[in-house]
Amino acid sequence: MNRGGESSPRRWEVVLLVAILLLAAFFRLYRLEAAPPGLQHDEVFQGHDASVALQVESRHLL
């Protein structure tokens, strides 16, 4: 048997979850075209450092 009081908190949890997901999607997609395309400079620097670290014989971590 389903009690009316037990389904209400569950429904509010689902409504809250959907609201949070919609808000997150809005903030993620809002003005998406304003973001520069491609890799950002820090990603390029990290990739270059990783490439150099793989090619160098003696590896210094710091």
| Domains in the chain: boundaries | 4-55
Element (H, E) at 37: none
What tens digit of pLDDT does each residue of 41-61 get?
777 888 888 888 888 766 666
Q: Is 53 helix (H, G, I), strand (E, B) or coil?
A: helix
Task: Give the pLDDT confidence score for residue 27 in this predicted structure.
Answer: 92
* Full-model pTM: 0.47
* pLDDT at residue 33, rounded to an integer: 82
